[in-house]
Amino acid sequence: MRLEGKTAVITGSSRSIGAAVAKRYAREGAKVVINYLDTPAFAEQVVHEIVSAGGQAFAVQADVSREEDVKRLVRETADRYGSLDILVNNAAVDPRKTWYEISVEEWDAIMGNNVRSQFLCAREAFPYMKAQRYGKIINVSSVTFFTGQKNFLHYVASKGAIIGFTRALAREVGEHGITVNCITPGAVLTETEYEKVSERTIRESGEMLAKAQCFARREIAADLEGAFVFLASHDSDFISGQTLNVDGGWMMH
């Protein structure tokens, strides 16, 4: 087990990519903290699955765009498990809207949820990682940084900011034995997509991606798990400030 004895906080992990990563980390031996905003039933289901399989996990409600909530999330993690070794900044929102119809309030909300949250979580995790001279921070951006994306201006801008944040933070914390890297998932088909768009849109997207990617199928959350394990493990101890694109060969850089 590649993460045995480590403690991992995964923000936004009650569903979709975050839940898949949390369950895989637990299978790799990590003690996992499931963070959620407003889906307690889903969070407790993830915890139940991990614990039933012999792993360790508990759930913490926190709005990670709020400073006091992040402080509480990290404090409860340290109180329960005594350390914080791995931080996955996954929480995000991705509304679709024509760019000139985006209000200032909507723009600020996206930046708060998607970017400020990563800064706050990294800042609160840092003292624990610094004290042990070891830590792994994994930020989640998006393939849309490489593609650009219509009706996604605020989202794409926030995901681009995360890549810059990753590079700059890696320079700041390397002397303390902490790595900071970024994953850009592709067009991942998760259960939440069915709540946002029609089945016809999902089908048409799948057909387009089958032609654009190296692999003629939609990406699923399980396709990302290995990359998250690698960047959380000792195998990546000399890698920092990097962006790993996991999208089935759609965009190449």
Place of tokens 């999330």: 73
Q: How far is CA 13 from its chain centroid?
A: 8
Beta strand extents in the chain (DSSP E only): 7-10, 31-36, 56-61, 86-89, 135-140, 178-185, 243-246
What the block records as the tokens of 61 is 């409600």
Kindly tell me the burial class for residue 49, based on how many C-beta atoms sit within 10 Å of its own C-beta (0-12, 13-18, 19 or more). middle
The span from the CA of 57 to the CA of 79, in Å, is 13
Catalytic residue status for 194:
no
Of the residues 100, 128, 155, 194, only one is catalytic, namely 155
**Cα 134 to Cα 178: distance, rounded to the nearest angstrom:** 5
The answer to whether the CB of 245 falls within 8 A of the CB of 228 is no
Residues contacting 248, CB < 8 A, separation 6+:
186, 209, 213, 214, 215, 217, 219, 223
249 dihedral zone (left: phi>0; alpha: psi -120 to 50; beta): left
Active-site positions read 155
